Amino acid sequence: MKPVTSKRKTHKRKAKRESGIDRAEYQPRFLGARHYFVLMVMLTLLGGLVTRALYLQVFEQDFLANQGVQRQIRTIETPAYRGTIFDRFGTPLAISTPVDSVWVNPAEILENLDGLKRVTDRLELDYRDTVTLLKQRANREFVYLKRQLEPEFARVVADSSDGVYLQREYNRYYPAGEVVSHLVGFTSIDDQGQEGLELAFEDWLSAQPGKRRVIRNRRGEVIEELAQVSRAEAGKDIYSSIDMRLQYIAYRSLARAIQYHAASAGSAVLLDARSGEILAMVNQPSYNPNGGRSANVAAQRNRALTDVFEPGSTIKPFTIAASIDRGRFHADSSIDTSPGHWMVSGHPVKDVRNFGVLSLSDILRRSSNVGASRVAMALHKQEMWESFTDYGFGAASGVSFPGESSGYFPHHSQWQPLDHATMGFGYGMSVSITQLARAYAVIANEGRLLDLSLVRKEARFNPRNEITRHVMKATTARAVLQMMTKVVGPKGTAQLAAIPGYQVAGKTGTAKKSIAGGYQKDDYVAVFAGIAPASNPRLVMAVMIDEPTQNGYYGGLVAAPVFRDVVSNALRILDISPDDLPTLVQRREQGA
């Protein structure tokens, strides 16, 4: 019997043979030269890295620091104020106020979506749309989120998240709002003039941003100013010809008339008769240039300069003036208008009734179409065309306003006999209300034609107020002016234009609105143009009310009261002395 220990040893050897494992294979081996080679390579690389790091930190420190700064240096714009628009006495009509715009670097902010969500919530932007936009512009470094915010609010937004920055800009503000909107116009979000004086004087008003080189931190904040590349230049200021005291009065009066007569639109222009400066220019409907400009594009139109209409009987003073200047008639001439109508080329020219024989003055006072047509036909077509052209019809008024219309006054070679006759009382031609006011200024200025201006004229640089030339004899202008005072007299068509204590000269007009192929049956344009004081003209005003539908439609009922309201206040404000004292005394005694 074999010992137990011997059996166990035999069993272990057998197990080793069956597993095929040899412990000798697990013993570490030393490969000699190969191990030394790998170890030396690793030590060499490590030594190189340490040496390079020491070299950069010790010997290249200034260079690397400078390179870091260079990567934070930016050339940025320094914004500048756009020029201010004032009225003639320095009341601001358009000013620039500082605002901040919020912008981001898409690549930076898209890594902070939680912060972007907070920003879009504060700015009331759609988060998903904003993310989509930023991804589309991920290759850019600058994208606006929202522009022209109040600086305090914009700072709160920027502080709510990393990667949100601010840029200083200037926003245009219009203190008088809709009262002067058609004149001043407005600018785009990039501060460029789009309408009115803002557009007409863009080169003068626009600012030139400066450039400066700065160092910005990771938040985009300027931490150091390095150099001024170019200096910012603010825009130049403009003093307009407008008197805001009169502008407010004209705007209020016109708006009241539009409402009372349920009219669709209206315009009024008040001139300084001596200088041609426009003291007030108003339109209805209007708009507020500080917001909501796109709501009603038609309301943005300066109708006083862009819209034209057939002026009707307001042209009759010029028909008579041309006939006197050309020697066809004189101030005391008479015209037989019987039997109250006149056939021209198979078409009747009618008066409201048979006026019989009328003087030239009575033709204006009674507004006789037959009388005006007979006077016009006494002139050769070329003579009448030349005179009317000299008075400014068919030409711009000189204000150089964007979109101004020159009206429509066809060449005499195109006239048929009926055209010749009807132009004598304002049909077959079209004018703007500003053109009409300019023509009346010819009569007020003893026959001298003025270029109108929306910018204040400096007397020392403009001898005789830039009067261009005589287009009407002074004696003719004085005679026609005296005739027009009868129109505003007790038996005239413009009694509602009378101003106590002042002699007023003017003419009413009521014209049917033209359409393709004829005239609308019940749509009218009510017009009045006048001069005050008639003895020493200082003010000229023309008023047009489009499509009055309630409480009358005649020029004497609708437009003349607007003239009286505005001009009576203007005479008082400008301290113009009364020239009809007997009437004023009589009225006061009757009132007592």
Report pLDDT digits (tens) over 344-370: 999 999 999 999 999 999 999 999 999
- 249-274 average pLDDT score: 97
Q: 244-591 sits in which CATH class?
A: alpha beta
Residues forming a β-bridge with 268: 282, 543
Q: What is the DSSP letter of 208?
A: B
Phi/psi zone of residue 547: left (φ > 0), alpha (ψ -120 to 50 degrees), beta? left
Q: How confident is the model at residue 68 (pLDDT cuts 50, 70, 90)?
A: low
pLDDT at 502: 95
Residues forming a β-bridge with 290: none
Instruction: Pick the more confident residue, 225 or 339.
Output: 339
Distance of CA 236 to the CA centre of its chain: 18
Q: How confident is the model at residue 218 (pLDDT cuts 50, 70, 90)?
A: low
Structural tokens at position 348: 């009747």
pLDDT at 60: 63
Task: Examine the pLDDT at 8 and tell me if it is beyond 70.
Answer: no
End-to-end CA distance of the chain: 165
Torsion 571-574-580-584 (CA) sign: positive
pLDDT at 462: 46
Structural tokens at position 273: 């008769």
Task: Examine the pLDDT at 574 and tell me if it is beyond 50.
Answer: yes
pLDDT at 87: 96
Task: Examine the pLDDT at 204 and tell me if it is beyond 90.
Answer: yes
DSSP-based three-state secondary structure for 235: coil
Q: Which of 240, 313, 361, 373 is catalytic?
A: 313
Q: How confident is the model at residue 51 (pLDDT cuts 50, 70, 90)?
A: confident
Q: Give start and end residues of each alpha helix (H) in 213-350.
A: 244-260, 303-306, 316-325
Task: Examine the pLDDT at 192 and tell me if it is beyond 70.
Answer: yes
What are the backbone dihedrals phi and psi of residue 519, each rounded to the nearest 5 degrees, phi first? -130, 145
pLDDT at 484: 98
The answer to whether 381 and 345 have CB atoms below 8 angstroms apart is: no
DSSP state letters, 478-513: HHHHHHHHHHTSTTSTTGGG-BTTB--EEEEEEEEE
Task: Examine the pLDDT at 11 and tell me if it is beyond 60.
Answer: no
Task: Examine the pLDDT at 19 and tell me if it is beyond 70.
Answer: no
pLDDT at 21: 47
pLDDT at 216: 65
Structural tokens at position 318: 């010029």
> Boundaries of CATH 3.90.1310.10 in the chain?
78-239
**pLDDT tens, residue by residue, 426-438:** 999 999 999 999 9
CB atoms closer than 10 angstroms to residue 179: 23
Separation of alpha carbons 142 and 130, rounded Å: 14
160 is catalytic: no
> Residue 444: which of 485, 410, 477, 489 has the closest Cα?
477
Separation of alpha carbons 175 and 181, rounded Å: 10
Q: Give start and end residues of each alpha helix (H) in 346-410.
A: 360-366, 369-378, 381-390
Q: How confident is the model at residue 307 (pLDDT cuts 50, 70, 90)?
A: very high
> Boundaries of CATH 3.40.710.10 in the chain?
244-591
> Residue 234: which of 254, 271, 265, 206 has the closest Cα?
206
Q: How confident is the model at residue 592 (pLDDT cuts 50, 70, 90)?
A: very low
Q: How confident is the model at residue 47 (pLDDT cuts 50, 70, 90)?
A: confident
pLDDT at 213: 75
Domain 78-239 has CATH 3.40.50.300: no
Q: Give start and end residues of each alpha helix (H) in 392-432.
A: 417-423
Which whole-number Å values give the CA distances from 446 to 278, 383, 478, 560, in the listed order?
19, 20, 6, 23
Separation of alpha carbons 123 and 104, rounded Å: 13
Structural tokens at position 189: 């979000």
Task: Examine the pLDDT at 281 and tell me if it is beyond 90.
Answer: yes
Residue tagged 């019997």 (tokens): 1
> Residue 196: which of 206, 181, 207 has the closest Cα?
181
Separation of alpha carbons 370 and 354, rounded Å: 10
Counting Cβ atoms within 10 Å, is residue 63 exposed (0-12), middle (13-18) or buried (19+)?
exposed
Give the HSE-up count for residue 470: Cα atoms under 13 Å, Cβ half-sphere.
8
Q: How confident is the model at residue 461 (pLDDT cuts 50, 70, 90)?
A: very low
Q: Which long-range contacts (CB under 8 A, 24 or more apart) does 107-115 make?
A: 107/138, 107/141, 108/163, 109/134, 109/161, 109/163, 109/164, 110/134, 110/135, 110/138, 111/163, 112/161, 112/162, 112/163, 114/161, 115/160, 115/161, 115/162, 115/163, 115/164
Who contacts 456 (Cβ-Cβ below 8 Å, separation ≥6)? 88, 239, 240, 241, 277
Task: Examine the pLDDT at 103 and tell me if it is beyond 80.
Answer: yes
Structural tokens at position 354: 């048979």
pLDDT at 1: 45
Mean of the per-residue pLDDT values of the chain: 87
- 264-291 average pLDDT score: 95
Structural tokens at position 494: 């413009």
pLDDT at 367: 95
| E strand intervals along 111-263 | 143-149, 164-173, 210-216, 222-230, 238-239
- What share of the chain in percent tops pLDDT 70? 84
Torsion 64-66-70-73 (CA) sign: positive
Separation of alpha carbons 302 and 283, rounded Å: 7
Residues forming a β-bridge with 73: 215
